[in-house]
Amino acid sequence: MTNTIETLPTPSVVIYEDVVKRNCKLMHDRAISLGVDIRPHMKTHKTIEIGKFQTETINIKKIIVSTLSEARFFALSGQFKDILYTVPIVPTKLAAAAHIHSSIDVLHLMVDHPDHIKAMVEYRNQHLGALGNKKWSVFLKIDCGYHRAGADPELPSTIKLVEQLTKSLSDHFVFQGIYTHSGHSYKQTSPDGIAKIATSEATVAGNFAKKIRSLGYPCPIVSIGSTPVCCHLPNNLKDLGVTEIHPGNYVFYDLMQVELGNCKVDDVGVHVVSRVISVYPERNEMLVDAGSLALSSDPGCTHLPDRAPGFGIIVGDNNLRIVGVTQEIGKVSSVNGSPIDFNKYTIGSIVRIVPNHSCLTAAMFSNFNVLSTESTTQVKETWIPNKHW
């Protein structure tokens, strides 16, 4: 017997297929209208089904993953043959990477330090044939201001990396181009601020590509983007030198994206279904069975002025927030102090929660309950995400 919302064990996660498909199409159409490619990230959902929605209109299905386990999972499906693993590669992962690279068209790896290059050359020299007679395929990660991963585009040592990848060590490498990720777009307080990050990321990446080409090195791909940036791209993106965008979170969006002004609450494609486990009218609070192991402990956009603290909002009652989480329990309170309707929220009643950060929330669950739309109650399918590293 298939589940309905009412028969799901709680907490569970539900996905709205129509919303996810719409989000995928809109982002794809945005890329097309700006004249760039899209290489979507799989990290938010880690499922074959949504990976197909993200790529169904693309001729060459290029995807991005954040773990080698994901790379293996998407490769084994037989449907994805061009995969980019975006975390700078550590030498201990080269054997696994070589195995995946030899089993599909290409597994691209990411470097931002000479020791990555050195380890890859050594591995290839020592394991002749392990890559199926292929070279390593690499992107160079450039820091566009986020200051997480990425070589500094201003340093001569970064040009040296390009030189090694394209000239002196080119027996070992196919250089794809450069990659930036603007995680600092999540720290902006307005759509204008995000638009400025979008233009600066595109400019940093485009200018670096121009610089290395002017020095005689190839740079076919210039890949930028986070979901906030991809919601506020400049119209002259292509002229700035960008060739592709690589968002991931946009498939689901979440409360952070709503609060940053990147989408509307109706664009959020994932909710956590939870039940009221007890009520406390005397203090205008109630508890639900979704705590940090269902929602994650990500506090969301705490930097936004006037934002009520919390871990998610109750669908249909945006004034009700999860104001605290412990392992299996979420505490719900009314943000503006208006009385909670305890006739509606009785013990055992169902609530749906818009989570702060859908990537982390989705990763908490081992299956996704798929509804055609938010207004249907019947679970039509169950999708199984990849897990672990």
Ligand X SMILES: Cc1ncc(COP(=O)(O)O)c(C=O)c1O
Residue with tokens 């390593």: 136
- Looking at the Cβ atoms of 230 and 329, the one nearer to ligand X is 230
Does position 108 interact with ligand X (CB under 6 A)? The reply is no
Find the shortest distance in angstroms from Cβ 388 to ligand X.
18
Find the shortest distance in angstroms from Cβ 250 to ligand X.
6
Structure tokens at 182: 């603007």
- Looking at the Cβ atoms of 67 and 227, the one nearer to ligand X is 227
- Looking at the Cβ atoms of 101 and 184, the one nearer to ligand X is 184
CA dihedral 142, 144, 145, 150 (to 10 degrees): -10
Find the shortest distance in angstroms from Cβ 8 to ligand X.
27
Which is nearest to 288 in space by CA: 249, 315, 256, 260? 315
Find the shortest distance in angstroms from Cβ 225 to ligand X.
7
Residues 171-190: x where in contact with ligand X by CB under 6 A, - otherwise, as a string = ----------x---------
- Looking at the Cβ atoms of 321 and 357, the one nearer to ligand X is 357
- Give SS3 for 75: helix
- Looking at the Cβ atoms of 113 and 134, the one nearer to ligand X is 113
Q: Where are the alpha helices (DSSP H) in the chain?
A: 17-34, 48-55, 68-76, 94-103, 114-126, 156-163, 191-214, 227-230, 255-260, 292-295, 358-363
Do 291 and 325 touch, CB atoms closer than 8 A? yes
- Looking at the Cβ atoms of 12 and 44, the one nearer to ligand X is 44
- Looking at the Cβ atoms of 41 and 172, the one nearer to ligand X is 41
Find the shortest distance in angstroms from Cβ 248 to ligand X.
4
Which is nearest to 2 in space by CA: 378, 271, 377? 378
Whether cis (ω within 30° of 0) applies to the bond prior to 11 is yes
Which is nearest to 115 in space by CA: 134, 91, 137? 91
Q: Which long-range contacts (CB under 8 A, 24 or more apart) does 61-69 make?
A: 62/37, 63/39, 64/39, 64/40, 64/246, 64/248, 65/41, 66/41, 66/42, 67/386, 67/388, 67/389, 68/93, 68/96, 68/97, 68/100, 68/389, 69/386, 69/387, 69/388, 69/389
Residues 242 to 301: which contact ligand X by CB under 6 A? 246-250
- Strand-pairing partners, residue 275, are 350
CA dihedral 259, 265, 271, 275 (to 10 degrees): 90
Find the shortest distance in angstroms from Cβ 123 to ligand X.
23
- Looking at the Cβ atoms of 226 and 369, the one nearer to ligand X is 226
Do 146 and 184 touch, CB atoms closer than 8 A? yes
Residues 13-42: x where in contact with ligand X by CB under 6 A, - otherwise, as a string = ----------------------------x-
Find the shortest distance in angstroms from Cβ 165 to ligand X.
19
Find the shortest distance in angstroms from Cβ 380 to ligand X.
26
- Looking at the Cβ atoms of 65 and 313, the one nearer to ligand X is 65
Determine the size of the site formed for ligand X (CB under 6 A).
Answer: 10
Residues 359-378: x where in contact with ligand X by CB under 6 A, - otherwise, as a string = --------------------
- Looking at the Cβ atoms of 251 and 279, the one nearer to ligand X is 251
Do 194 and 229 touch, CB atoms closer than 8 A? yes
Find the shortest distance in angstroms from Cβ 247 to ligand X.
4
- Give SS3 for 259: helix
Find the shortest distance in angstroms from Cβ 246 to ligand X.
5
Does position 357 interact with ligand X (CB under 6 A)? The reply is no
Does position 86 interact with ligand X (CB under 6 A)? The reply is yes
Residues 197-236: x where in contact with ligand X by CB under 6 A, - otherwise, as a string = -----------------------------xx---------
Contact set with ligand X (CB under 6 A)? 41, 86, 181, 226-227, 246-250
